[in-house]
């Protein structure tokens, strides 16, 4: 086991040695162990583990292998970077039609894949022996409205391909992102609850509602462990926006640092739920690591970060870039934004798996500016 060597030191049983996983599990009766895994797939530096169950859990973790489909998109780049830091570069494989230009992402292995081709998806999962799949492929809200049939086909077909392969036992866990786009004009504007009626106004939102119900269906009928969160608008500095309605915020940061005029396509007072990518990545990985019995919602969990309007973002940015100013010229995307909530109630995620955001609006703005200064 040269690439998966275990160095095990017993803190209560000095001088004990174990030659295999089974030997280890059968010879520990009490006390805690300090276990160091030097593993090609996963690097866990040091962990204090309770006997039996804890040891087995960490040994299983050492064998996990994560595939991110849609890795070259805005969320994919951020997620892979976070996963590399948590699990190790070799435990993560990036997958998309085209390879990302991001140097950090490219530290991990890349596989070219058309996620709408189920035979290719099946072959990739069989060959790679992946335990976790993060399926991020989607045509986002603004782009999807320009070609709704293509948006529906991409979003649904690629998801169902992954779910079918999981049903066949080719993967243990599936993560699939939903969105606040599932909500529509009848949803409460403030603190929209987990079980609010969904009446989306975009094909992106419609596909997300359908996807949530498919996730629940595959769990209830086939035992597929699908986990999901409803992301707010996501803001990160490692990649350009991908065609979402909330992407105005990311564009504002680039314009501020480049001292360019910024024209916002939303109304100045349109408040939307937003989230820093670091919070989004942490929520995703924490959800996937949560015990099976803790996952009570099998559609998708509400997730909340902070909420602000374009004018409030302008105010925060002007604290750092004194001459920054925003002009407002709302277009078709304003109608989409107006159908979404101002804020989200994520109490179910907090209760079930301990979710709690770290970024306020002011902290998000500072972090984004600091991150972009290194690349702009």
Positions marked catalytic: 204
Q: What is the DSSP string of 266-292?
A: S-TT--EEEEEHHHHHHHHHHHHHS-G
SS3 at position 363: helix
Q: What is the distance between the terminal CA atoms of the chain, rounded to a whole angstrom?
A: 45
Q: Check residue 192 and report its DSSP letter.
A: B
C-alpha span between 89 and 41 (Å, rounded): 8
Question: Could you tell me which of 64, 100, 62 has the C-alpha nearest to residue 81?
Answer: 100
Within 8 A by CB and 6+ apart from 29, the residues are: 51
Q: 52: left (phi > 0), else alpha (psi -120 to 50), else beta? A: left
Per DSSP, the three-state class of 300 is coil
Query: Within a 10 A sphere around the Cβ of 174, how many other Cβ atoms?
Result: 23
Q: Where are the alpha helices (DSSP H) in the chain?
A: 21-27, 53-62, 74-87, 118-128, 141-146, 148-167, 203-222, 248-257, 277-289, 310-318, 332-338, 347-353, 361-373
Contact 167, 159 (CB under 8 A): no
Q: Please, which residues have CB within 8 angstroms of residue 281's CB and are 6 or more apart in sequence? A: 78, 79, 81, 82, 83
Burial tier of 19 (Cβ tally within 10 Å: 0-12, 13-18, 19+): exposed
Q: Residue 135: which H helix or E strand, with range? A: strand 132-135
What tokens does 40 get?
């090609």
- Angle value at C-alpha 94, between 91 and 99, nearest 5 degrees: 150
């Amino acid at each position: 086991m040269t690439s998966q060597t275990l160095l095990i030191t017993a803190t209560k049983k000095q001088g004990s040695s174990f030659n295999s996983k089974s030997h280890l599990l059968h010879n520990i009766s009490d006390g805690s162990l300090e276990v160091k895994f030097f593993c090609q797939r996963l690097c866990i530096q040091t962990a204090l583990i309770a006997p039996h169950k804890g040891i087995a859990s960490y040994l299983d973790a050492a064998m996990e292998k994560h595939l991110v489909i849609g890795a070259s998109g805005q969320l994919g780049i951020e997620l892979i970077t976070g996963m590399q830091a948590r699990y190790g570069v070799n435990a993560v494989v990036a997958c998309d039609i085209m390879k990302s230009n991001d140097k950090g992402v490219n530290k991990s292995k890349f596989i070219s894949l058309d996620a709408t081709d189920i035979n290719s998806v099946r072959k990739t999962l069989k060959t790679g022996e992946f335990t976790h799949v993060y399926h991020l492929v989607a045509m986002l809200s603004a782009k999807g409205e320009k070609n709704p049939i293509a948006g529906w086909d991409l979003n649904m077909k690629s998801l169902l391909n992954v779910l079918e392969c999981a049903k066949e036992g080719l993967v243990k866990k599936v993560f699939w992102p939903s969105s606040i786009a599932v909500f529509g004009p009848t949803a409460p504007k403030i603190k929209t609850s987990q079980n609010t009626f969904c009446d989306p106004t975009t094909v992106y939102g419609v596909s997300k509602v359908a996807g949530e119900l498919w996730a629940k269906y595959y769990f209830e009928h086939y035992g597929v462990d699908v986990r999901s969160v409803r992301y707010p608008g996501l803001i990160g500095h490692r990649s350009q926006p991908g065609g979402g309605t909330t992407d105005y915020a990311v564009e504002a940061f680039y314009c501020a640092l480049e001292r360019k005029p910024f024209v916002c396509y939303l109304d100045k007072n349109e408040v939307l739920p937003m989230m820093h990518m670091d919070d989004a990545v942490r929520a995703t990985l924490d959800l996937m690591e949560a015990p099976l019995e803790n996952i009570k919602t099998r559609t998708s969990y509400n997730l909340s970060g902070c909420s602000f309007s374009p004018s409030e973002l302008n105010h925060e940015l002007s604290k750092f870039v004194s001459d920054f100013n925003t002009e407002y010229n709302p277009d078709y995307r304003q109608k989409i934004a107006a159908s979404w909530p101002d804020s989200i109630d994520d109490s179910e995620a907090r209760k079930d798996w301990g979710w709690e955001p770290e970024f306020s609006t002011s902290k998000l703005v500072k972090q984004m500016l600091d991150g972009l200064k290194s690349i702009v």
